Amino acid sequence: MRSSLSLSSPSLFPHFSATPPSMASNNSLLWFRKGLRIHDNPALEYACKDSKHLYPVFVLDPHYLQSDPTAFSPGSSRAGLNRIKFFLESLVDLDSSLQKLGSRLLVFKGEPVEVVIRLLKQWDVKKLCFEFDTEPYYQSLDKRIKDYASSAGIEVYSPVSHTLFNPADIIQKNAGKPPLTYQSFLKLAGTPSSPLASASSFLPPVGVTGDYEILRVPTVEELGYGDISQEEFTPFKGGESEALKRLKESLIDKEWVASFEKPKGDPSAFLKPATTVLSPYLKILASLQLLWRDFYYTVAYGTPNFDQMKGNKICKQIPWDDNDELLIAWREARTGYPWIDAIMVQLRQWGWMHHLARHSVACFLTRGDLFVHWEKGRDVFDRLLIDSDWAINNGNWMWLSCSSFFYQYNRIYSPISFGKKYDPSGVYIRHFLPALKDMPKEYIYEPWTAPISVQNKAKCLIGRDYPKPVVDHAFASKDCKRKMGEAYELNRRMNGLVREEDLKGLRRKFEEDQGQSQKSRSLKQKLIG
């Protein structure tokens, strides 16, 4: 299989050797982006053929790495520290692997296309190789670099190897449209190609580099993200070597491998996660099986504006609430629901959590309880997850918010009972929310129901040491279902062509209904009183 970090064991591959320098005449440049790997790397293999010198290049892109002190967590404007640290460790590991093969990673900083074009000219490169990428950002970069290469007579080789299948081929088979169900995708996809059957034993040497400043892989501190002394880093280390080690360890337990069923994993398991935790290495991707991953990549590649609600033809148009207070409470683990808050703490500290835990907090933020826009949650995940992947992150948020792919909005993950069935004693909650560590298990998922005497004994007064619930789940979930029903009806009535004024009108209705509901509840409480 192919991914950004190939997970095939290196011992499975016979070695191939690059063309001896004395028999080669061309200079090649291998532009690393996501495919930070040595094994099963078609771009690397092709770059080595008939090459006198090979320049392995990575460009530190300010688009992703520019420091942003205004962001809600330390890091760049787009990524938090865990994600950046994992990425830097992957670069260090790649450099180490290249050095073992007689080469090294040449690191530069700047706008990628400008840097690469400058290097192509300086080094008299005749062959440029890089892995094909489906993301719109990289598509725009690739068009610019291919246009230049064409005008300069430089050969470009950009193989599809980040995914099992070529998304364009699948879309073409489906009359020019991406398949919108997993089953239809499988019928179209067929059998993936085999991985490369060989690995490098040595690489062509790096040629003269000229007077350009070549950087070493920087540390998080050197990137200038401010005071990070109190930041807890993820326990997962980046790099292809770590990925291969983790895969090997997972495959040792043959009984576990044979009986593994991803949907039945335990989201509360954290000391020994219920999955392989290979998703960050597949991204360097979200925690999905590989065919599901390709499904999302294909739909994303064939859908304009896939990363937003407006202008996205496969996304339901829903007048989500614009409530920053609720968003921040969710993001900062202050919802008052321990299952939800513990997951969000794990996200911030580890940059990873079980896929069912992700489902829980995504549902809670959107159509389950808070009715906040899925794009807001997507942005938080994109920043904090070490396995954040553009296609999968957007696809999952549309799925969990019932905006696309999945439409059974009446099926909600309970913020109370769902976690309890896996971890009735609340071990997971006690670990990530130490304020609740002494709360009796009878109240660990609903601490606001504990008598004051119990709260005092547990040294955790609700409203002081741990927040009260931001919403009443029983009422909020019912209200969300009603709103989703009315939004679906609007989309049906408008045949998917919902205008901004239609959304504003429905949003006003929701606000009026909420006002009337609050008056009714207040009157009821007075009568009871």
Q: Is 253 annotated as a binding residue?
A: no
Question: Is 465 among the annotated ligand-binding positions?
Answer: no
Secondary structure (DSSP) of 254-317: HHHHHH--GGG--TT--SS-SS---HHHHH---S--HHHHHHHHHHHHTSTTTTSSTT-TTS--
Nearest one of 66, 63, 83 to 223, comparing CA atoms? 66
- Whether 22 has a binding-site annotation, put simply, is no
Helix (H) or strand (E) holding 509: helix 500-528
Say if residue 387 carries a ligand binding annotation: yes
Which residues fall within 8 angstroms of residue 330, CB to CB, at 6 or more apart?
Answer: 340, 344, 361, 364, 365, 370, 372, 377
298 is in an annotated binding site: no
Q: Establish whether 19 is an annotated binding residue.
A: no
Give the SS3 label for residue 241: helix
- Tokens 């005092």 correspond to 456
User: Is 293 among the annotated ligand-binding positions?
Assistant: yes
What sign for the dihedral angle of Cα 162, 168, 171, 173? Answer: negative
390 annotated binding-site participant: no
Known binding residue 4? Answer is no
What angle (nearest 5°) sits at the alpha carbon of residue 206, between those of residues 202 and 212?
155
* 518 known ligand binder: no
- Using a 10 angstrom Cβ sphere, with 0-12 exposed, 13-18 middle and 19 or more buried, the burial of residue 474 is exposed
Report the first-to-last Cα separation within the chain, whole angstroms: 66
Residue 385 among known ligand-binding residues:
no
Taking each continuous run of H as one helix and of E as one strand, the counts in the chain are 21, 7
Q: Is 412 helix (H, G, I), strand (E, B) or coil?
A: coil
291 labelled ligand-binding: yes
The reply to whether 123 sits in an annotated binding site is no
Q: What type of residue sits at position 400? A: L
Cβ atoms of 275 and 287 closer than 8 Å:
yes
Q: Residue 144: how many CA atoms within 13 Å on its side-chain side?
A: 13
The answer to the question of whether 389 is labelled as a binding residue is yes
Query: Which residue ranges are tagged as binding site?
Result: 275-279, 289-296, 387-389
Binding-site residues from annotation for FAD = 275-279, 289-296, 387-389
